[in-house]
Structure 1
Amino acid sequence: MGWVYLLLAFLLCYYIFRSNTTRDLKKLPSPPGSLFYFGHIFQIRDEPHKKFTEWARSLGDIYSVQMGQQNWIILTSDKVVGELLQKRGAKYSTRVPSHYTFKILTRGKSYVCNPYDERYRKVNPIMHSVLGQRSVKENSDLLDDEYRILMQNLCQASAKMNDGFYPKYFFQLTALNVITLLCLNKRTDSVDDPFYREFKSLMGTHLELAKVTNRLSEFFPILKWFPNTKLHNAMIESADNIEAFLRKLVKEVIEDKEKKPCIIREFLRKKDEGILDDLDVIYLTDTIFAAGTDTVSASLTWLTAALANNPHVQSKAHQELDRVIGQSRIPEVSDEQTIPYIRAIIKEGQRYCGPLYLAIPHAIEEDDEYNGYHIPANSVVVLNQYGIHMDEKRYENPKEFKPERFLGFTESSAALANGNYENRDHFGFGAGRRLCTGIHMAERELLLGVSRLLWCFKIENASPLGKDGKPIAINLDKIRNGITVWPEDYKVRFVKRHDNVEKVLSGQSQ
């Protein structure tokens, strides 16, 4: 019987120790209806951002959800995000340790989803050096050229497709060209080019497989013993195809006799120094391709639809551009401080219909306490961007596209993200130490893209007419939900605002 007493003593010690760690702390509120073993997973369905936001209205800014065997902490206010992800960044900067899906898709070499460990701290300065403010300034001419070419491409497409078209692929091509020029000094001329088509197919599959609904083995560990062979094989095939695609690009850089400087060459130099290995080079490049093309192009695709639905916003933007820029040149980066309404449109676009509704989850590896609540170790911590952006206490009439709410904001999103949480414009780039590395590049691209889009065109909704004889508004609630969120296909027309547009874009008029 000695072992029984020993076991009881052990359990008593464990209970006392455990109770001491959470003494006087309350459990976080949680939605009703949790099922044994399954938790709330059947209540989430296909639009978790909406369910999380609905629960936040009744449970508060911080609450827990049981996703199978994972405990998720949902953050839905600027204050709780600021207090935890920013002020306690050291505790909340890791990622989900068992991110099984990403480990397969990226051979365990993901930069975005890796834990806040020694490897991350080694790689992070490298990523900041190739995507940070200095890099943006050094590549200003490259960005200027690509967003001038984008406007030319939209002019040409509009002349051919009078009934309108879905602009996603033109935005995606421009974002891809920015990344390929940065990574290996290569660009693609058309959405019909085989390189673009291969990239679009590979990346589309890659991001689709990584979405939450394909991560059941993370919620239910027992499924790792009974894997979905079809899904598992699809992930392996996607990883193989991405790796083969990127190895070809790395080979191009290695064989470039001119040895032109580029991001991949910088990665190869770090490899020669023993800082990176072969797969690091491949999957750091993968991270830049995935994040650098989808987020910017999705932002522009969403914003174009919002502008088509709100011609009065376009009218105000056109007035500002005509007054400040005139019609003899296109907007430049140096114009930013003199076109506050354009800057406000960009910020409102990131709030109203940004490319992410739920940020890539953080995690906490040790117990914590917040406002008398116990936050258990090994919890997944989710920044509900959609919920914050639709919070009526923070944004008056949040379902209205209203750039005027940001006219008083003169600083960049990057500067505001590192300051007081109460003063932030939006949370589209995440929060804390895992703030989007490419935030400076993205802001520069959005400034050039949006200002020039509105300088060149009036964006008209090309949807079928309703009973009132007007085009039916583009439904921005219809989405394609993956890691990046896209609107369903829609059609718009890009109507040149004046006869000087093409002359200015071609450099014939100054």
Structure 2
Amino acid sequence: MVLVYILLAFLLCYYIFRSNTTRGLKKLPSPPGSLFYFGHFFQIGNEPHKKFTEWARSLGDIYSVQLGQQNWIILTSDKIVGELLQKRGAKYSSRVASHYTFKVMTKGKSYAENPYNERYRKINPIMHSVLGQRSVKENSDLLDDEFRKLMQNLCQASAKTKDGFDPKYFFQHTALNIISLLCLNKRTDSVDDPFYREFENLMGTHLELRKVTNRLSEFFSILKWFPNTKLLNAMKENADSIEVFFRKVVKEVIDDKEKKPCIIRELLRKKDEGILDDLDVVFLTNSIFAAGTSPVSASLTWLTATLANNPHVQSKAHQELDQVIGQFRIPEASDEQNIPYIRAIIKEGQRYCGPHHFGIPHANEENDEYNGYHIPANSVVVLNQYGIHMDEKRYENPKEFKPERFLGFTESSTALAKGNYENRDHFGFGAGRRLCTGIHMAERELLLGVSRLLWCFKIENALGKDGKPIPINLDKIRNGLTVWPEDYKVRLIKRHDNVEKVLSGQSQ
């Protein structure tokens, strides 16, 4: 009987995969070598960003890839992204039903699919109100304090070892403090705090469980008949633990007798108005924490490694900071327009070594047509950020870390992302109606983080046993929704004796 079911599944998949192209339209180009039922799944390899980009060079800026039962549309040019995700945003603003652990956590609610519907249009303004430009202005002192404390912690860590250390955990700690202060007025003093440890452990386990190899049933439905009970139990346990964690976080706000204003209190107010329910508040809190911690801390981790490998870039940055800021105060947000090279470093960092290769895929719920090609409904639409950022037609010598390419860009990434696609600096924050909600917050954090890191320190590679610097291999990555470099060590050398006095407020 099982063999009969398998045969029926193969026949059903064959029927689904048959050309359903609207009459008169062409099928999108597709790589050769597709296998029945499996499609191109085994051709992707361990570096899908490079394979998708390689295919784009031969197939063009838009093509399709079959991954089991999923049809993926790969977009690898600013024009294609602008035409589809921006100009036709209403058609391409849903998300893919691919987050199994959220399906478990939300007990059947449509968070996993996250369609572009009336419910989304109610939630989106809430998210913009708590993470948008106004929130950045209102919380400028909070951001300033946390990045001052980050630099103090890095000073202390650098004094404890001459061999170097991994700064990633300090960046993660600062990002978590900012979000937890915004969400519930709570911060932790060190990376050893139980709150930080529990959050990092839960998120780390969650990302590990979401690896493609653990989600094969999303690509091959036949595997649902042969469930991996151990894996499913681990997913459910992790999802339940995440829900319990964030319910405790929400309860802290509910139990706060002082009723201090915070993001979760705003969400609870929307619940009282009947717009959200209990699970909505928990889910949105989880989303804010996840989105507000990993991308920024990963960006700073990548950029620190890249700067260690490029001392000539640091030298130019140090000259600018010494001329504009001096050695008796740290850079402030108000200095942004006067430190164009620092701003260029940040933009180049998002292009050269951003925390995403694809971001979160989009989905189209109806058929569409582009340039004579048929785009089937219910496809996974992928913004190939890596491919665009490594396009020689758009960026001269793209494999070089060259901040100078952005010195003529005076507008913020936020403003450019909402304008003409041809004028964008990079695509690290996504595109269209699903543009990163926290883009204003992320830009402010990167400005403070990068400018102060370079004001305080000279970043050097760790030394090998022979006493020679060991360049960081930026090709070694930890792939996932957020892309991280492999663990590394750097030495942070204070640039002058005044650093700690200024950070502590003692310098005049």
- TM-score, normalised via structure 2 length: 0.94
Q: Report deviation, 1:98.
A: 5.8
State the partner residue of 2:418. Answer: 418
Identity of aligned residues (%): 87
Letter in 1 for 2:431: A
Give, in angstroms, the shift of residue 122 of structure 1: 1.3
Indicate conservation of the 8 Å contact 1:25/1:374, yes or no.
Answer: yes
Does the 8 Å contact 1:320/1:339 carry over to 2? yes
Q: Is the 8 A contact 1:158 1:164 kept in 2?
A: yes
Structure 2 residue aligned with 1:180: 180
Q: What residue in structure 2 maps to residue 472 of structure 1?
A: 470
Q: Which AA in structure 1 matches 2:39?
A: G
1:321 to 2:321 alignment: yes
Superposed counterparts of 1:96-111, under 5 Å: 96-97=96-97, 99-105=99-105, 107=107
Change over 3 Å in CA distance of 1:107–1:44 after alignment to 2: farther
1:65 aligns with 2:69: no
Q: Which amino acid letter does the alignment assign opposite residue 416 of structure 1?
A: L
The answer to whether the aligner puts 1:462 opposite 2:453 as a matched pair is no
For 1:170, the aligned partner's letter is F
Q: Does residue 87 of structure 2 align to residue 82 of structure 1?
A: no
Between the aligned partners of 1:62 and 1:454, the Cα distance in structure 2 is: 40
2:391 match: secondary structure:
coil
Matches of 1:252 and 1:268 in 2, distance apart?
12
CA distance, structure 1, for counterparts of residue 194 and residue 63 of structure 2: 47
Asked if structure 2 preserves the Cα contact closer than 8 Å seen for 1:101 and 1:214, the reply is no
Single out whichever of 195-204 and 322-331 deviates more from structure 2: 195-204
The AA in structure 2 aligned to 1:308 is A
The 10-residue stretch of structure 1 (244-253 or 149-158) with the greater mean CA deviation from structure 2: 244-253
Q: 2:493 corresponds to which residue?
A: 495
Paired residues of 1:246 and 1:285 also in contact (CA < 8 A):
yes
Aligned to 1:353: 353
Q: Distance in 1 between matches of 2:20 and 2:164?
A: 65
Instruction: Give me the whole-angstrom Cα distance separating, in 1, the residues matched to 2:128 and 2:272.
Output: 19
Once residues 173 and 114 of structure 1 are traced to their aligned partners in structure 2, the CA distance between those partners, rounded to angstroms, is 29
Residue 19 and residue 53 in structure 1: after superposition, are their counterparts in 2 closer, same or farther (change >3 A)?
closer
What residue in structure 2 maps to residue 508 of structure 1?
506
What is the CA distance between 1:465 and its match in structure 2? 6.5
Instruction: Name the counterpart of 1:485.
Output: 483
Q: Shift of residue 459 of structure 1?
A: 0.3
Partner of 2:268: 268
Residue 9 (structure 1) aligns with: none
- Name the residue aligned to 2:39: 39
Distance (whole Å) between structure 2 residues aligned to residue 118 and residue 226 of structure 1: 36
Secondary structure of 1:27's counterpart equals: coil
2 CA distance for matches of 1:19 and 1:426?
35
Query: Are residues 420 and 76 of structure 1, via their aligned partners in 2, closer, same or farther at CA, if it must alter by over 3 Å?
Result: same
> In 2, are the aligned partners of 1:356 and 1:485 still within 8 Å (CA)?
yes
Deviation per CA, 1:329-368: give whole Å up to 9, x if none.
0000000000000000000000000111112110111111
Pairwise CA distance, 1:274: 1.1
5+ residue gaps, structure 1, are 1-14
AA partner of residue 479 (structure 2) = N
1:429 and 2:401 matched: no
Code of the residue aligned with 1:304 in structure 2: it is T
Q: Is the 8 A contact 1:110 1:284 kept in 2?
A: no
Question: Would the aligned equivalents of 2:147 and 2:449 in 1 still touch at CA under 8 Å?
Answer: yes
Q: Give the aligned residue type for 1:320.
A: E
Structure 2 CA distance, aligned partners of 1:414 and 1:408? 16
> Within 2, Cα distance between the matches of 1:105 and 1:359?
22
Residue 231 (structure 1) shift: 1.7
Alpha-carbon offset, residue 504 of structure 1: 0.3
Tell me whether 66-75 or 266-275 shows the greater mean CA deviation. 266-275
Q: Which residue of 2 aligns with 1:440?
A: 440
Match of 2:5 in 1: none
Query: Do the aligned partners of 2:98 and 2:112 also contact (CA within 8 Å) in 1?
Result: no
Larger deviation: 46-55 or 152-161?
46-55
Q: Which amino acid aligns with 2:85?
A: L
Residue of structure 1 in register with 2:248 after alignment: 248
2:480 alignment partner AA? G
Contact preservation (8 Å) 2:363, 2:381 = yes
Deviation at 1:20, TM superposition (A): 11
Where does residue 95 of structure 1 map in the other structure?
Answer: 95
After superposition, the Cα gap between the structure-2 partners of 1:459 and 1:162, relative to the gap in structure 1 and judged at 3 Å, is: same
Counterpart of 2:199 in structure 1 is: 199
Instruction: Write the distance in 2 (CA, Å) between the matches of 1:110 and 1:465.
Output: 54
Q: Is the 8 A contact 1:154 1:170 kept in 2?
A: yes
In the TM superposition, residue 273 of structure 1 has moved relative to its aligned partner by 1.2
Q: Which ranges in structure 2 are unaligned for 5 or more consecutive residues?
A: 1-14
Distance 1:213 1:106, change over 3 A: farther
Q: Cα offset for 1:106?
A: 5.0
Are the structure 2 counterparts of residues 38 and 293 from structure 1 closer, same or farther at C-alpha, using a change threshold of 3 Å? same
Cα distance, 1:212 vs. partner? 3.0
**Could you say which residue in structure 2 is the equivalent of 1:10?**
none
| Cα deviation code 1:303-326 (max 9, x no counterpart) | 000000000000000000000000
CA deviations over 1:415-472 (Å, ceiling 9, x no partner) = 0001000000000000000000000000000000000000000001004268xx7423
CA contact (8 A) 2:99 2:210 kept: no
| Alpha-carbon distance, 1:111 to partner | 6.1
| Aligned residue pair count | 492
Cα 1:355–1:110 shift into 2, 3 Å: farther
8 Å contact 1:111–1:120 — kept in the other structure? no
2:302 match? 302
Structure 2 distance, partners of 1:111, 1:337, is 40
Deviating more after overlay: 106-115 vs 176-185? 106-115
- Match of 1:427, SS? coil
- Pairwise CA distance, 1:110: 7.8
Cα distance, 1:112 vs structure 2: 8.4
Deviation of the 1:35 alpha carbon: 0.4
Provide the C-alpha distance between the structure 2 equivalents of 1:470 and 1:113, rounded to a whole number of angstroms. 51
Deviates more, 1:356-365 or 1:314-323: 356-365
Q: 1:322 to 1:19 in 2, by over 3 A?
A: closer
In the other structure, the counterpart of 1:367 is 367
* Matches of 1:324 and 1:408, distance apart in 2: 18
Counterpart of 2:389?
389
